[in-house]
Amino acid sequence: MKAFFIDRYGKNTGRLGDLPDPEVGAKDVLVAVHATSINLLDSKIRTGEFKLILPYTFPLILGNDLAGVVVRVGTGVRHFKPGDEVYARPPQDQIGSFAELICVSEDALALKPKNLTMEQAASIPLVALTAWQVLVETANLKEGQKVLIHAGSGGVGTIAIQLAKHLGAFVATTTSTGNVQWVKALGADVVIDYKTHSFENELKDFDVVLSSLGADDLEKSIKVLKPGGQLISISGPPTPQFAEEQRLSWPLKQVMRFLSSGIRRKARKADISYAFIFMRASGAHLREITALIEAGVIQPVIDKSFAFESIPEALTYVEKGRSKGKVVVAIK
């Protein structure tokens, strides 16, 4: 099969070539990939940023989103059959959607929303699962609560705004000048133009912050939360709890403890909680998201589409941080 893979870690590594077809385990589903999408996670994996906690071997096929058609199922698979149109964020040990074929655990798959094209469906899994696991599972966001979603024009932000509004929350977000009206159209109640205003001076008494930004903005976000509020980051620093969930070694657990000690201490002092969320694959959560998509509650937001052969250019485009919504790749 054709695939885009890396033989070593590095900023501009990766090539398109032929690799053996995946082997299908008893609980695996073999999917012909019709479309995938680009996430910053792909770039971070390519450069080796996660090599201590995600010990991959080479050659490594990149890609963390997929939409396609089931080709074959393992002997233990019960809920999918050849010909089913599906989508998924593969488990972290099964990534590799920049390829013509991929094997995915049955538990990570869901039937593709009927009202989406393959490219639209491929834009959804990672960012929608992230939004769901932050706002629904972790924050338990309720009607009438106030949530600040940083980077509202990004992949996670565009979906998180729609989900938070569906949950009945008051939504504030940050974005650049050119995207203010566009993000308001997604449903945000208040939009802070970070080029002209400081969000920490404009907002207060929020219940939840979803942060995908760096350390400085993470600390500033404490100021907008009321006592008992929740600061939830998807960009780090990781916490000891995350290290436990990943079953990392004792030395790595101590590293995570050290890296997050400052923000955890400042959060405790302000009587708020800090959590780091590393999204996990979940077919069950995707089915919940599918229902919202088919009901018209959540709509995909696609910035640009690239051809399979142009994955290097697509990665570079996403790394610049200018895309509005998701960047997708047509495989077939």
- Position 272 scores a pLDDT of 97
Specify the pairing of strand 302-307 against strand 225-233: unpaired
Q: Where are the domains of the chain?
A: 2-123+301-330, 126-276
Residue 16 has pLDDT above 90, yes or no: yes
Specify the pairing of strand 85-88 against strand 109-111: antiparallel
- Position 174 scores a pLDDT of 97
Phi, psi angle pair for 69, to nearest 5°:
-125, 135
- Position 304 scores a pLDDT of 96
Residue 332 has pLDDT above 90, yes or no: no
pLDDT tens digit sequence for 226-275: 999 999 999 989 999 999 988 899 999 999 999 999 999 999 999 999 99
Average pLDDT over the chain, rounded to an integer: 96
Please, which pLDDT band fits residue 55 given cuts at 50, 70 and 90? confident
- Dist. CA 257–CA 244, nearest whole Å: 11
- Which of 188, 119, 136, 133 lies closest to 158, judged by CA? 188
Q: Which fold has domain 126-276?
A: Rossmann fold (3.40.50)
The answer to whether 88 and 125 have CB atoms below 8 angstroms apart is: yes
Q: What is the full DSSP assignment across 215-273?
A: HHHHHHHHTTEEEEEEEEESS----HHHHHHHT--HHHHHHHHHHHHHHHHHHHHTT-E
Q: Which fold has domain 2-123+301-330?
A: Quinone Oxidoreductase; Chain A, domain 1 (3.90.180)
Q: pTM (2 decimals)?
A: 0.97
The answer to whether 323 and 297 have CB atoms below 8 angstroms apart is: no
The answer to whether 98 and 129 have CB atoms below 8 angstroms apart is: no
- Position 236 scores a pLDDT of 86
